[in-house]
Amino acid sequence: MSVGRPPATMTEIAAALGVSSATVSNALSGKGRVSAELSAKIRQAAEELGYVPSHAARALRTGRTGVIGLVLPDISNPLFPQIAQAIEQAAAAAGYGVLIADSRGETAQQTAAIGRLIERGVDGMIVVPRRGSRIGDIGTPVAIIDSPSTPGNTVSSDHWEGGMQMGRHFASLGHDKVLLIAQSRESNVQNDRIGGLKAGLGDDICCETLWVEDLEASQGAGSAFGLADRVADGFTGFAAVYDLLALRALTELQRDGIDVPLQASVSGFDDLVWSSVVIPSITTLRQNLSTIAECAVEALGHAIADSETLSGTSIAGRPNCERVPMMLVARHSTGPASGSVVSASVNARKDSG
Amino acid sequence: MSVGRPPATMTEIAAALGVSSATVSNALSGKGRVSAELSAKIRQAAEELGYVPSHAARALRTGRTGVIGLVLPDISNPLFPQIAQAIEQAAAAAGYGVLIADSRGETAQQTAAIGRLIERGVDGMIVVPRRGSRIGDIGTPVAIIDSPSTPGNTVSSDHWEGGMQMGRHFASLGHDKVLLIAQSRESNVQNDRIGGLKAGLGDDICCETLWVEDLEASQGAGSAFGLADRVADGFTGFAAVYDLLALRALTELQRDGIDVPLQASVSGFDDLVWSSVVIPSITTLRQNLSTIAECAVEALGHAIADSETLSGTSIAGRPNCERVPMMLVARHSTGPASGSVVSASVNARKDSG
DNA sequence: CCAAGGTGATTAATCGTTTAATCAAGCATA
DNA sequence: TATGCTTGATTAAACGATTAATCACCTTGG
């Protein structure tokens, strides 16, 4: 609020009180030996003079900037804002600032982005790796958010178990022919989800996987999934591996005059903004991003601490939250398979949000 | 790549070459007087020793951190990733790092977020203000991304002119009863878009505005827009003020068995990820975010430079890009009004992406 | 031949904090 | 009374880059 005037320094506080700047530092950090009353006086003076610590000076002296980097893959991932928000939140709570770096989809850019962060002197970084890429040892503490299948200092949702929940959801609704829709075979996350879905559906349910990358390779980008034909073939369930695919499926079915959820059920993953807003609203699995962010920041904090005592380069199998559970959000895009009879209780737990 | 070993300092380079550290500084920054050959040797040595400048030391000495803050409103805005990416890109090109701060939707948080950034010593910040909030004078250079209606150091798309383009698009397709769909009366951006739409539609076309906040206040959040009734009333065009509303409208129409674009046309703003993927793909207006980001960073750079020479607090009416044009992306959700006759050329410019 | 001016480099102070080392008392113990 | 320990504070040296001031040397011009 007080505009223009540069913030006071420790030296100024010291001068104002006639003590040494070391004493001020000790009082404010609570580290050295300072009498209670002097300490109180110093704190008060600091308050009155509008003292703001110089992060630059502290960083220079201690070698720690109090800033962590957040490396994100291609921006097109609509889950990114939520991740970024959760990380920023958790980092701020832990006293860190968050510097962003975008890898613009390319692996080379990912490396460059990491380099830029290191040059800026971040204490560590959190990486959401680009699909199919590995983060080598970069001489800086790192925490990775990906899938539990990724080795290393990784925090993640339990995508497999989530898939299983969704598989069971379809099973309980009486579907017996379900199409799994995924984008890329390279993605650990998608593979985990697919595996879980199959496990949840069980052996009695017929399921098949549509890989969109294959489809688009042959038919061109943005081509239709041909779901109406699938419905004609007896498919009643369409479980997509993330919400964008679910939305694509939903609108295609609707366009072709197929009623969702009466004739076909559709589900996604991630609970993106629009999922609750679309009509019918989409049944999906929500990640507990705030927990993941907290875990990632905490794990990174440990890695940073370790990298100081132990020489060498961190990365411990630290986080005990390697598999954060996901939450099924049942909404209106899934319902009993047409022609099947199910207990009413299943549908009762839908919310309207 | 060289792991573990701390990066070399200027002093080390100086020692290795038997010169003074000041000379190294001069050679590397090209400022003082250094002979060409010595300068070359210094550069080479720096390269070989893997010199990485200490941002902390530089910041301490010069008072500039080379970091700018990016303050974003509620994360739920799906345009955020694109903005963040564009800013990060432009900032990196200008040699700045980007520290993010999230205002979590509340104005109080916005102020707190700004405060945190200032404490971290950012040289300036770019703010995407929360709807209806003002950014006071905060004693730090600022650039704002909002609407041209916002006073101050503002960069923005020309939402009004964009609305006009879309209005004309509907007019050229022969629609004569169009429903405008908006969320909040407080939003400068939305008001601009609405104004432009009305202007573009012209006086001959009947139009009405549906304010979703009013609807939800009376009917509860997530309630349907009741568009089928509107179609029955003769509405053939539905122009939403951003893509999320357009998507909501599209799916509601589809659910009720109304064919888009045969019986009704739907459009949005912002060209979010899903807009091109949905079936039918959504006609929308794309913002030129990279230009906006470049302008914002450049304007901020000037503001920062000014704030050093001129005492007092910056904010000049600098940017000559106060109204960056938007681009109409005609896709498959809009078409000739049912029963009207239009020239074929209009539909010809659709793309399939 | 001497003063003036230019060139290429060095010296040393500075930015604001942290922290190891030191110091002056005060008080208890032997 | 001399010794040792504790407490509360100070001194001073870093951290690494920037930069004004200074200096030594060499070239020119008068």
Domain span at A125 = 67-140+289-323
CA A243 – CA B260 distance, rounded (Å): 22
**Does residue B129 sit in the same domain as residue B267?**
no
Please indicate, yes or no, if residue B152 is contained in any of the structural domains. Answer: no
Contact flag A65-B52 (C-beta cutoff 8 Å):
no
Q: Which of B2, B76, B121 sits opposite A55 (nearest CB)?
A: B121
Q: Residues 6 or more apart from A49 whose CB is under 8 A from it?
A: A8, A12, A13, A16
Nucleotide nearest the Cα atom of B54 (by C1')? D16
**Does residue B231 sit in the same domain as residue B278?**
yes
Find out whether B27 and B34 touch, Cβ atoms under 8 Å: yes
**Does residue B199 sit in the same domain as residue B123?**
no
CA B118 – CA B138 distance, rounded (Å): 9
Please indicate, yes or no, if residue A44 is contained in any of the structural domains. Answer: yes
Closest-CA residue of A relative to B74 is A85
**pLDDT value, residue B340:** 54
Strand C neighbours among A 23-52, CB < 7 A:
25-26, 28-29, 31-32, 51-52
B184 touches strand C (CB under 7 A): no
Which parts of B174-288 fold into alpha helices (H)?
A: 188-201, 212-219, 227-232, 243-255
Q: Which of A119, A137, A279 sits opposite B251 (nearest CB)?
A: A279
The CA–C1' separation of B134 and D17, in angstroms, is 39
Q: What DSSP string runs through A240-306? A: ESSHHHHHHHHHHHHHTT--TTTT-EEE-SS--GGGGTSSSPPBEEE--HHHHHHHHHHHHHHHHHH
Task: Return the H-helix or E-strand segment holding A214.
Answer: helix A212-219
B59 touches strand C (CB under 7 A): no
Please indicate, yes or no, if residue A152 is contained in any of the structural domains. Answer: no
Please indicate, yes or no, if residue A146 is contained in any of the structural domains. Answer: no
Please indicate, yes or no, if residue A299 is contained in any of the structural domains. Answer: yes
A60 touches strand C (CB under 7 A): yes
Contact flag B4-A311 (C-beta cutoff 8 Å):
yes
**Does residue A170 sit in the same domain as residue A220?**
yes
Q: 3-state DSSP call for residue B157?
A: strand
Positions in chain A short of pLDDT 70: 1-5, 75-76, 132, 150-152, 309-320, 339-353
Q: 3-state DSSP call for residue A209?
A: strand
**Does residue B34 sit in the same domain as residue B82?**
no
Contact flag B99-A67 (C-beta cutoff 8 Å):
yes
**Does residue B128 sit in the same domain as residue B42?**
no
The CA–C1' separation of B313 and D21, in angstroms, is 32
**Does residue B169 sit in the same domain as residue B275?**
yes
**Does residue B17 sit in the same domain as residue B127?**
no
**Does residue B24 sit in the same domain as residue B37?**
yes
The CATH number covering residue B46 comes to 1.10.260
**Does residue A282 sit in the same domain as residue A339?**
yes
A97 touches strand C (CB under 7 A): no
Please indicate, yes or no, if residue B19 is contained in any of the structural domains. Answer: yes
Q: Chain B window 204-233: which residues touch A at a Cβ cutoff of 8 Å? A: 221-222, 224
Contact flag A100-B98 (C-beta cutoff 8 Å):
yes
Task: Give the burial class of A234: count Cβ atoms within 10 A of its Cβ; 0-12 exposed, 13-18 middle, 19 or more buried.
Answer: exposed
CA A31 – CA A23 distance, rounded (Å): 10
Q: Chain B window 148-207: which residues touch A at a Cβ cutoff of 8 Å? A: none
Q: Residues 6 or more apart from A170 whose CB is under 8 A from it?
A: A178, A200, A201, A205, A237, A239, A265, A267, A334
**Does residue B18 sit in the same domain as residue B120?**
no
Encoded tokens for B184: 């909040």
**Residues in chain A closer than 8 A to B53 (CB atoms):** 119
Instruction: Calculate the dihedral angle through the C-alpha atoms of A135, A141, A147, A149, rounding to the nearest 10 degrees.
Output: 70
The CATH number covering residue A108 comes to 3.40.50.2300
**Residues in chain B closer than 8 A to A82 (CB atoms):** 75
Contact flag B4-A139 (C-beta cutoff 8 Å):
yes
B119 φ/ψ angles, rounded to the nearest 5 degrees: -60, -35
> Mean pLDDT for each 10-residue chunk of chain B (353 residues)?
69 96 96 94 96 96 95 79 91 94 83 90 91 75 83 87 98 97 94 98 96 95 93 97 97 96 97 94 96 93 80 47 92 87 42 40
Q: 3-state DSSP call for residue B154?
A: strand
Contact flag B75-A92 (C-beta cutoff 8 Å):
no
Cis peptide before B148 (omega within 30 of 0): no
Nearest protein residue to the C1' atom of D10, measured from CA: A20
CA B28 – CA B45 distance, rounded (Å): 11
Encoded tokens for A266: 């559709």
Instruction: Calculate the dihedral angle through the C-alpha atoms of A202, A203, A204, A209, rounding to the nearest 10 degrees.
Output: 80
Give the tens place of pLDDT for each residue, A233-264: 999 999 999 999 999 999 999 999 999 999 99
Please indicate, yes or no, if residue B296 is contained in any of the structural domains. Answer: yes
Q: What DSSP string runs through A113-149? A: HHHHHHHTT-SEEEE-PPTT------SS-EEEES-TT
Give the tens place of pLDDT for each residue, B139-167: 889 999 987 776 668 899 999 999 999 99
Give the tens place of pLDDT for each residue, A210-235: 999 999 999 998 889 999 999 999 99
CA A296 – CA A152 distance, rounded (Å): 12
**Does residue B275 sit in the same domain as residue B297?**
no
Q: What DSSP string runs through B83-133? A: HHHHHHHHHHHTT-EEEEEE-TT-HHHHHHHHHHHHHTT-SEEEE-PPTT-
**pLDDT value, residue A344:** 39
Give the tens place of pLDDT for each residue, B226-244: 999 999 999 999 999 999 9
Find out whether B301 and B94 touch, Cβ atoms under 8 Å: yes
Please indicate, yes or no, if residue A61 is contained in any of the structural domains. Answer: no
- Best residue in B58, B223, B278, B352 to probe A by mutation, most A CBs within 10 Å? B278
Query: How many domains is chain B partitioned into structurally?
Result: 3
Give the tens place of pLDDT for each residue, B11-25: 999 999 999 999 999
Q: Which residues surround strand D, with CB < 7 Å?
A: A 18-23, 26, 32-35, 38-39, 57, 60-61, 63; B 6, 9-11, 21-22, 25-26, 28-29, 31-32, 51-54, 57-58, 60-62
**pLDDT value, residue B75:** 65
Closest-CA residue of B relative to A65 is B56
Strand C neighbours among B 4-33, CB < 7 A:
18-23, 26, 32-33
Q: 3-state DSSP call for residue B275?
A: helix
CA A156 – CA A98 distance, rounded (Å): 20
**pLDDT value, residue A342:** 45
Neighbours of A326 (CB within 10 A): 26
Q: Chain A window 133-152: which residues touch B at a Cβ cutoff of 8 Å? A: 137-139
